[in-house]
């Protein structure tokens, strides 16, 4: 499957799941309180710290492995099964300790359900890693969408029935069960069911470093909620989670699709550092144009967006949303850096850079938490700015690129962002005295952003416009071909 086709299916997967997740979050925000959602968020962050040890990077090992033998597959399968069971037991027996630390017994109940979830995950993980390696994103889309739809239905039903925050845990279990059952259908027939240990040392050797990196990434993502939960309570944690969730709508919709495709693509480039450097500049230029424009829209429209999606009980998350949008704008410039470090076998550099992420973010959150809720967001944005400069410099030393080309690409993306922001900003200025209006300014802002984005991309001759033109020409060519082949009535 070509890179463009893979990206197309990856985006289709994310857009379908996005619609389901968006509708679900809108309903859940009205069925559960900020404090109840905060309870689940903190629990998921704690469980997330165990995630990196669920398979010790076995899936990533399978993706980057050039030749897959039966012994390698058996060893990966053995690691996934053993660690899935071990982590399920740890989660189950640690539930009372976690509940006591946060003085909330509901955390223990949620962890019991998530322990069962951990048992199921390995049965679909091997197949999904193999499909990723083969760029079979059409089949991955079916698996993920099936899980997303099932999990969302479960969460909504149990929340509506009055089960509280554990409803989201029931939904997570339903999602994993559905994905596991669907993945059985796509599992390659030549994959053995019997685990083995012949190649296990090689898998573990690769996985220890990668698991450390994943653990640090989880700490980077989850530190704010853990600190907030302890210092400012579940309500503040819920508000932060909602702001982060709104910003992550963009990340899951755009960046997850890009990253899951580019890791195997960069892997195929091997260690041609100059080629990877050129791909980094081109990819970053494309990503920042789309990402900055979208994040700017979210920041400008934060008030009506939160009111429309979640209700005015979440208005405390508005300023935090804007701060996190700024932070994400900085981080978009380095979104491709980890993939380059992985495929160029610079895992040690990746580890220490990721550790630096955690240190700077945690310090900014700790300082901000003493100054007030919104100060946390701006502290995270400042830390992200510093991290961007460090990561880009490190990537340049591994995959050299032209600083001038990168700078010109970012400037053009910035100009596109300004063009995309003009109409949304004008709309918000017009409706600022009408706080009850939500859908109308959102609709105008989204349409205005799209028009401004395309117009400014064309004026600046941004690469994203060339890509859009190629896609449009291909669609028109297919339409013309089908029209010519349509039999005419006698």
The reported pLDDT for the residue numbered 407 is 92
Phi, psi (deg, nearest 5) at residue 117: -60, -40
Nearest to 203 by CA among 336, 59, 313: 59
Residue 43: pLDDT band by 50, 70, 90 thresholds?
confident
Average pLDDT over residues 324-331: 91
* Amino acid 125: pLDDT: 80
Contact 175, 147 (CB under 8 A): yes
Tally of residues, the chain: 490
Confidence of residue 141 (pLDDT cuts 50, 70, 90): confident
Supply the mean pLDDT for the chain: 80
State the pLDDT at residue 425.
Answer: 92
CA distance 290 to 325: 13
Per-residue pLDDT at 62: 66
Q: Which of 255, 259, 384 is nearest to 331 (CA)?
A: 384
CA–CA distance from 70 to each of 67, 95, 289, 417 (Å)? 10, 38, 44, 50
Question: For the chain, how are helix, strand and coil distributed in percent, rounded to 5?
Answer: 85, 0, 15
Q: Which of 245-249, 319-323, 355-359 holds the top average pLDDT?
A: 319-323
> The tokens 């059952």 sit on which residue?
181
Which tens digit of pLDDT belongs to each residue from 219-265? 677 777 777 777 777 777 778 878 887 887 766 665 555 555 555 55
Whether 155 and 171 have beta carbons less than 8 Å apart is answered as yes
- Residues 6+ positions from 483 with CB-CB distance below 8 Å: none
Question: Does the pLDDT at position 169 exceed 80?
Answer: yes
Residue 14: per-residue pLDDT: 65
Q: How far is CA 390 from the centre of its chain?
A: 22
Highest mean pLDDT among 119-123, 337-341, 475-479: 119-123
Count of other CB atoms within 10 angstroms of residue 257: 22
Residue 429 has pLDDT above 60, yes or no: yes
**What is the pLDDT at residue 311?**
79
- For the stretch 442-470, pLDDT in tens is 899 989 999 999 999 999 988 888 877 77
pLDDT at 277: 80
pLDDT for the residue 8: 60
The whole-number average pLDDT for the span 388-411 is 89
pLDDT attached to residue 352: 84
Question: Measuring CA to CA, how many Å separate 486 from each of 65, 279, 375, 490?
Answer: 47, 41, 62, 12
pTM of this prediction?
0.67
Cα gap 154→168, rounded to integer Å: 8
Provide the pLDDT confidence category of residue 53 given band limits of 50, 70 and 90.
Answer: low
User: Percent of the chain, pLDDT > 90?
Assistant: 17
Give the residue with greater pLDDT, 187 vs 347: 187
Handedness of CA 174, 178, 181, 184 (dihedral sign): negative
Distance in Å from the first CA to the final CA of the chain: 41
Q: What are the extents of the domains in the chain?
A: 1-231, 233-481
At residue 490, the pLDDT reads 42
Residue 103: how many CB atoms within 10 A of its CB? 8
pLDDT number for residue 274: 55
């Amino acid at each position: 499957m070509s890179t463009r086709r893979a990206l197309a299916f990856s985006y289709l997967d994310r857009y379908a799941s996005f619609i389901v997740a968006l509708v679900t979050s809108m309903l859940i925000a009205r069925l559960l309180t900020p404090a109840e959602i905060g309870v689940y968020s903190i629990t998921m962050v704690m469980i997330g710290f165990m995630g990196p040890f669920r398979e010790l990077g076995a899936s990533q090992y399978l993706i980057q492995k050039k030749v897959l033998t039966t012994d390698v597959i058996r060893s990966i399968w053995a690691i996934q099964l053993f660690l899935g069971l071990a982590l399920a037991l740890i989660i189950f027996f640690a539930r009372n300790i976690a509940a006591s630390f946060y003085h909330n017994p509901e955390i223990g109940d949620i962890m019991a359900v998530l322990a069962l979830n951990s048992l199921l995950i390995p049965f679909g993980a091997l197949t999904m890693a193999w499909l990723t390696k083969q760029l079979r994103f059409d089949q991955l889309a079916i698996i993920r969408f099936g899980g997303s739809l099932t999990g969302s239905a479960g969460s909504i039903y149990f929340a509506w029935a009055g089960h509280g925050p554990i409803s989201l845990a029931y939904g997570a279990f339903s999602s994993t069960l559905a994905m596991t059952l669907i993945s059985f259908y796509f599992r390659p027939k030549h994959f053995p069911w019997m685990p083995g240990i012949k190649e296990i040392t090689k898998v573990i050797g690769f996985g220890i470093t990668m698991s450390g990196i994943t653990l640090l990434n989880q700490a980077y993502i989850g530190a704010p909620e853990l600190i907030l939960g302890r210092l400012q309570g579940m309500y503040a944690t819920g508000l932060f989670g909602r702001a982060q969730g709104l910003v992550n709508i963009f990340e899951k919709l755009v960046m997850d699709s890009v990253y899951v495709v580019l890791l195997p693509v960069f892997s195929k480039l091997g260690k041609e550092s100059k080629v990877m450097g050129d791909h980094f500049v081109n990819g970053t230029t494309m990503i920042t144009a789309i990402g900055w424009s979208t994040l700017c829209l979210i920041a400008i429209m934060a008030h009506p967006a939160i009111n429309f999606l979640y209700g005015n009980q979440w208005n405390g998350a508005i300023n935090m949303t804007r701060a996190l949008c700024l932070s994400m704008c900085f981080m978009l410039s380095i979104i491709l850096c980890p993939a380059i470090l992985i495929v160029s076998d610079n895992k040690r550099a990746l580890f220490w850079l990721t550790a630096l992420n955690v240190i700077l973010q945690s310090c900014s959150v700790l300082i901000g938490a003493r100054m007030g809720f919104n100060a946390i967001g701006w502290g995270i944005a400042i830390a992200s700015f510093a991290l961007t400069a460090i990561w880009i410099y490190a990537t340049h030393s591994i995959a050299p690129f032209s600083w001038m080309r990168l700078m010109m690409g970012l400037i053009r993306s910035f100009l596109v962002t300004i063009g995309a922001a003009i109409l949304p900003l004008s709309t918000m200025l017009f409706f600022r005295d009408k706080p009850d209006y939500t859908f109308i300014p959102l609709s105008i802002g989204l349409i205005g952003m799209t028009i401004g984005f395309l117009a400014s991309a064309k004026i600046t001759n941004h690469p994203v416009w060339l890509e859009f033109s190629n896609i449009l020409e291909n669609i028109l060519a297919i339409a013309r071909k089908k029209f010519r082949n349509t039999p005419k009535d006698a």
